[in-house]
Structure 1
């Protein structure tokens, strides 16, 4: 046991309870992330100078957009976890797939579901899909930040052993070894840093180039996730996909693997914008 190890600030994962009904911080993070993104979207679509006349959703259409995104996130996130992270278990017990209250969501699956939902929304409303993707990409880091904070509150998805790191924590149910608070690393990288980066790009005219903001989001998230995966304990049912890990290096995780095509897709989108003139 090292000299320096921070105690984990134990917080009840249940935020509110009314008799048999319990509202958890994780569920509140999803709701707050969606509502926070909806509010920010209203500000963005109302700022004409950011778009240069480019077609985009109207303020009155954002309620529908929120519904499509919410359904996509929940359905895609759950199916992504089932397929990528614990398929063997769910093949043996398919009835558990619908038990989302027991946990188990995949960001990459949620992203695919949200993208499909946004595409359907854009098609139904006759709006260029890339405008919708750029708008959504700008606000996603809000939900990512809140989700990772909820992971920390739940003492889940903890980091790898770090006995010599002064800010390491001993997490409940993770043994006596101090570990990286990797949930907070992800909240900072995938949430705060990415939010600031995309905000700066938007204010520099990024929304006038269809696909630029969405592409930068894909690349930015992939980089942040891969870096943080070096400090995060892999999912116990999967472990490391290739090789072994020592300290904070070595071994490929599922989070890293799924982030590679996301980075490639983001790069393609961003490069495409160089061939097209920006809206004036």
Structure 2
């Protein structure tokens, strides 16, 4: 019998040691600051700071920015609520609806974990749409600004997932596989770090190159690039990430919910890019 590799159902002979980092950064009596919450707060604060800097840089827009920097003092609050509410609702609907239908009050216990990126993504878009409409601002330009800074929050969030020892990868015998504390004896892909590198650092670097090249002058272009690249990165990482236990594989022994939810992002992202490329630039001078 020909074996293509060592059996993955046995405890590993060698695996990297999972770094035992306390998920709680600071604990004072009943008050505790967790790395996961700190990642959300830091991501939002950094996004707020960077968004204002982007709006205050006319050279990036080919002229005057369509959104004043001070608008994001209020927008960040709307976006924060959109991310939190959307992320929680998305997790309840997409990943564990039968459980929460039987235990509806558990849907409110956000501190127990359970957030879905795709839900937070849709929630933040709705929040920005309502805010832009209320203030008479360019919705597409708001999306572009948000898309530029989101990868930083994704990077921090995936690092927090790794610290928490959650959302681990599939069993593997790669040299950097590790045994996670709550995932049994098998060595697994540290898929959280793959996501941090792809969804966070790589996409952020590409978007910054696009912004420096003048992409903000075409409303919707940066947002389209982000949505398309995230869909690609998430689908790729899903081949290494263990699917949620309550869902498992949806079809063919390899399709996951993360893949299904990311597929429409490819089409939407491509449409936004094509749409932006066909429209005139902001601050373009009309021929006399």
TM-score of the pair, normalised by structure 2:
0.93
**Stretches of structure 2 lacking an aligned partner (at least 5 in a row):** 1-10
- Cα deviation, 1:168-205, whole Å, max 9, x if unaligned, reads 00000111111000000000000000000000000001
* Cα deviation 1:84-129 (Å, max 9, x = unaligned): 0000000000001110000000000000000000111111111110
In 2: Cα distance, 1:55 partner to 1:202 partner:
13
Q: Distance in 2 between matches of 1:78 and 1:53?
A: 39
> After superposition, where does 1:149-160 map in structure 2 within 5 Å?
149-160=159-170
CA-atom RMSD in angstroms: 1.0
Question: Could you say which residue in structure 2 is the equivalent of 1:51?
Answer: 61
**Partners in 1 of 2:182 and 2:246 — Cα distance?**
16
Say whether residues 1:275 and 2:278 are aligned partners: yes
Q: 1:92 aligns with which of 102, 118, 126?
A: 102
Which runs of 4 or more aligned residues in structure 1 lie more than 4 Å from their structure 2 counterparts after TM superposition? none
Partner of 2:8: none
User: What is the match of residue 207 of structure 1?
Assistant: 216
Q: Greater shift after overlay, 30-39 or 57-66?
A: 57-66
- Look up the match of 2:232: 223
In structure 1, C-alpha distance between the alignment counterparts of 2:229 and 2:281, rounded to whole Å: 22
Determine whether 1:14 maps to 2:20.
Answer: no
The normalised TM-score by structure 1 is 0.95
Partner of 2:36: 26
CA contact (8 A) 1:4 1:165 kept: no
Distance in structure 1 (CA, Å) of the matches to 2:65 and 2:53? 16
- 1:16 is paired with a residue of what secondary structure? strand
Find the aligned partners of 1:69 and 1:56 in 2 and give their Cα distance.
Answer: 19
In the alignment of these two chains, the number of paired residues is 273
> Which residue among 254, 258, 271 is the counterpart of 1:255?
258
Question: Which structure has the bigger radius of gyration?
Answer: 2
